[in-house]
Structure 1
Amino acid sequence: MSYFKLVHFELSRVWKIYVGLMGLVLIGQLSAIWFGANQFMKELTQFAREKSISLKAASTHEEFYMSSPNGFLREPWFYYPIMVSIAVLLLYMILIWYRDWFGKHAFIHRLLLLPTTRAPIYFAKLSTIMLLVFGLLALQIVIFFIGAKMIAVMVPETLYDTVSLASFTEEGVFPLLLPAEALLFFAYYTLGFTFVTVVFSIILFERCFRLKGFFFGAILAVCFIFLHVAPYLVANQFSLYPSESVLIHLGVTIFTLIFYTPLNLYLLKRKVTV
């Protein structure tokens, strides 16, 4: 079975859950944006009446505590859909392998018995996880644009600065999810890609050697976690520039990826048995 057919197969197994997850994020966050903009106008109108001033004057008044309709970005409940999405993806990152062994039809048996290389199986599962991640990331950007339009309709533009994508991504966890700098974006998501690879390695070790394999894979992962922490210690010791720290961290991440990918392919090809 080819790589693309395997990716299509993996996506077809999860699309119902994924669509539901996207619906949760879409409805939850757009509701939060609507509530935030509505609350901003309600509080602003009440404040203007109490001070007997215009809405424009009230919006810039030093005593008015809501500086913009983007205040919902600092509220924890706005991030609940994101937290649920992360939890589901982390869980599925494990289930994508174990459902093949412990599912109703033990599909992995048929895959491993195919007279072809097993590498497409590994890369298809890895690609599926990353496609799910970037799909939710793309949805988040779409939500930001829709949210900006909603705010523009609900709140007069004279009362606040124009809402842009940058204004959304500067709050909360979004500097990590959507960093403005291309180098940071590449570094963060290369690290995420490597994290998936490390988790896959622990799973494959467990499938090969059972409990002993799990502990060995976990210990190996801890060693690489320490290796990833080391650049921060070096940066503090030698006062490196932020860009230099990022490059060192990126180098360690790529080294980890180069180490784990052949290892995982070897385990899947030589050690995992039906």
Structure 2
Amino acid sequence: MRRSLLAGVSALLLCTPVYAADLIIEAPQDDATASAAGMRGVVEIGALGRSAAEDDGDYESFAGLYGAFDLQADLDGVVLGLDGYGEWLSIEDSDPNVTNGSLGVLGVRLGTRVEDWYFGGFAALGSYPNAENDDMFFGYAAGVQAAVAVEDLLLIGTLGYADAPNDDDPEGFAGWFVEGAAAFALSDDFAVSAMAGYGYSADFDVEDDPGEYVSWGIKGAYRIPGDLNLSLVASYEGIHAFDDDDESNTNHTVRLGISIPFGGSGSALDALRPMASPTAPFRASVSADVM
């Protein structure tokens, strides 16, 4: 438990000064994916609440904190990025072991812009606990991303592979996953995004059963009036993991925080992170241990 707490706090400290690989979007303009010289980014910090349950059992609720950052340099159409996400939940030893007490993800990306299109690759390292939240594990995810801007709408597709082991080999998530997302600017002051994902692991739990997960989420950002460049962000995220024995684990998470974009236009769209490095495979690894 102490190591889980330290890992969560460390992830939050990492995120505070500077989230997972995001394409930071410029304010709506004639060419929404035009190159922008120099570096820009966004910092996001806030509180989260989670409800989690195993199979058809009762949901247990937890509270916590999160932090995230994204730094991006766009040099003549070549995109370089570094991003991170960290969360910590207040979970005591007496609580049911149904969700991760902490999570840290650090990601990098390299891509290029071709007119309204973006093509690139990403790699991410994740740190997460077992179901008892008393031992930490490490996994990775890597893959490719593509995005296209259609006026004020950005569409994103992600294909990747993750290897995220947990307590008993081959328990955990090791397999392919896909994610799709869309971000839309209703105005300079308000923007929304939505995502959905799916992953499959041939060996998921201790009985070597295949396992799958589905994930989904929505997020909104509102630029707060005033001289300070601040946006209020609110989001909901869900993930449901299950295996061939009809065992399952479900998490629902809500977040409320402040986003601080810098180096860009300062619009609400800058506060969203639609191309974030995936966290679902690492959460699914914990779900495999829950089962």
Verify same fold: TM over 0.5: no
User: What TM-score do the two structures reach when normalised by structure 1?
Assistant: 0.26
User: What TM-score do the two structures reach when normalised by structure 2?
Assistant: 0.25
More helix by percentage: 1
